[in-house]
Amino acid sequence: MVNFLEYVSSQERKRKLRNVRTPKERMPPEQKRGSLVCGTVKTPIGSRVAKIKSRVLNRITKNDSALHKHVKWLKDLQEERRRMEEMKEAEELEILTRKRAFMEREAKKRAVAGKLEGIEPSTDEKDSDDGPSVLSTVSKESENEKKKPAWCQSETAHEAAEIDNEANLLSFANGLDFEQYTHDLELQTLMDQLRKRIKMLELEKKKDETKLKTCLDSEDAAQRSEALGNSVVDFVPTEVEKVNDDDDDDDTKSIANSVMSESSIKSIHSKKSLTELISKARGRMMVMATIEEEGEDAILPPVVSTVTDDNGARMAEKKSIHKLAFKNRNPSV
């Protein structure tokens, strides 16, 4: 049986032996040969304190709150607005200076042109020597005046330009060779339209004259009947259609025959009742007018059908058993 005190003493000796280091082991890691240096690098004394202090200062001064960000954004916005206003003022000032310089330059040009217009040719020898140069300058100024737009021309120059334009237009019309353009399709179409328009206007004029004559005749007939005391209708005005048209004459005759054949003609005693009866008969006789088309006739082409010489084989094949629906349907449906 082991004594407890001996056991404790032996364990204590072992622990001391384990903690005892050799001189090589007590050397620092830098002096050991083949040792692996790891861990943090030593820093000079006092730098750690300063670094910690700088970190604390940065943490105290840094402010990332929403209010701080909003204030910063407002400051940037104000700076941007100020910069834009300065740019706008500079642009407006530049435009104003350019406009002022342009107005001064144009005023000088107008003054020079006015002076040149007031120059008269003199009969002196000195003036005759300088005459061609003066006339050339005047001609150049007049050409420049014509090239100017209307808003910056003088009244005399504007009138002269209008006269020149009229003269050029008349000379162009007089020297125009119309035969060169007679074969032009567009010109021919335009001329045909003009001719049709002229014919339509002439027909309308004839219609108006006929209506006016009809109204005058009816008024004269009414005055004569009133003067004679006769209540019989001498003249009944009718609607005027196309002049010199045989179809309209035939329609008028047929309407008159239908009116005379009716038994209600006996009950007519006034112009109004007879006019109503004629209008009713005209409505019954109204026929749809034909549409005249230019160019190709409006006739539909004939229907062409091709008959094969299969003697009904196609129909027989159509009714065969393998053409039935349930034979070719999808089985997954």
CA distance 318 to 284: 54
Q: pLDDT tens-digit profile of 104-140? A: 988 888 888 877 766 544 444 444 444 445 455 555 6
What pLDDT does 323 receive? 72
Q: What is the pLDDT of residue 232?
A: 45
User: Residues for the chain: how many in total?
Assistant: 333
Domain-located, residue 113: no
CA pair distance 279, 277, nearest whole angstrom: 5
Q: Give the dihedral of Cα atoms 24, 27, 29, 35; nearest 10 deg.
A: -10
Residue 269 belongs to some domain of the structure = yes
In a domain, 172, yes or no: no
Average pLDDT rounded to a whole number, residues 233-248 = 48
Residue 140 lies in a domain: no
Q: What mean pLDDT is predicted for residues 214-241?
A: 65
Mean pLDDT along residues 23-40: 57
Q: Which domain holds residue 249?
A: 188-285
Is residue 76's pLDDT more than 50? yes
C-alpha closest to that of 233 among 265, 188, 210: 265
260 assigned to some structural domain: yes
Domain total of the chain: 1
Q: Is residue 198 part of a domain?
A: yes
Record the pTM. 0.22
Establish if 137 belongs to a structural domain: no
In a domain, 70, yes or no: no
- Given this model, what pLDDT does residue 233 score? 46
